[in-house]
Structure 1
């Protein structure tokens, strides 16, 4: 029998008290952290493949072992689907299935990769962030995507953006951050017709409600 997933516990009962100030600070500032050499090399490789691709790009952030990337690539056969995760053990894990030809799976630091994408002028058609690490402690706001300095660069990629989580508060905070940046979004609970990630399957089968936030980010 599959072990049930525990619900997320947090010392927050609502949106973080410093959320607005943190988001506004990052929206007004440049993120000047040096780019890691490894991520630069991976980006250069992927960027060449993107340049050769005649169609649109779909980006799968925090893709883990790449299950979601494969399913998205299957459903978007004319698109180049790129999955990026920071864990080498996940993206290089041995797999029985054959990866679709229109899919790229690589290990890189998204804090750097997003900025390189923006500098190179990428615009994606769709961008998925599926079940990111919630960092539920109040002290860890800066580790959540909407509380991180790279948040504005995520938005500069444009496209149809979808984030999923089993912690509604995470998405509520992200929705507030989007509004501060001038974007309207929809947040809803839903029943997955097909599990895109192992986490989605685990949460849903444990009886937890899963949520998704969707917005259409227009290019600047």
Structure 2
């Protein structure tokens, strides 16, 4: 099996995307948010990380995680999180260990696709853009008409902390946000945090912690 090399940059902040193996019509993540929420802190005990923003959709999730200084091993963390979720799902529902993804490839972490997407946050502008992308994602996928109406999002923590107004992005053009246009700059305002070299000073955990 081909092993994909991933870029290593210790002590920085990353944007991640994880998908279920079978995405069409699959609502597993929002149906079993209890198992998902249990997996993250379980792994965090021995493998620390932060969660600065997150959103859980029925068939995939996005999040921004800062890692400790000198640590770049996000693959181990995600492997343990996915395995914990699948193992406990199997105990509850008899879910099969091997699930076929869209390409017909057996997955090693039960419900999940084997691979995941990662992006190194480069600077403050990149950070703001990805936080906006995360909070807008349920609207972009048609699951809700308003960001505030999606319960599985760190957006609500941002509202409680006074970072976002409750009506954030209500008047934003969808295509312009996802393309990073001028509306994106207005909609994705965020309180500055230090990005490069160290984890962000303020964490905004959503549904995953």
Q: TM-score, normalised by structure 1?
A: 0.28
Greater fraction strand: 1
Higher RCO (Cα < 8 Å, 6 or more apart): 2
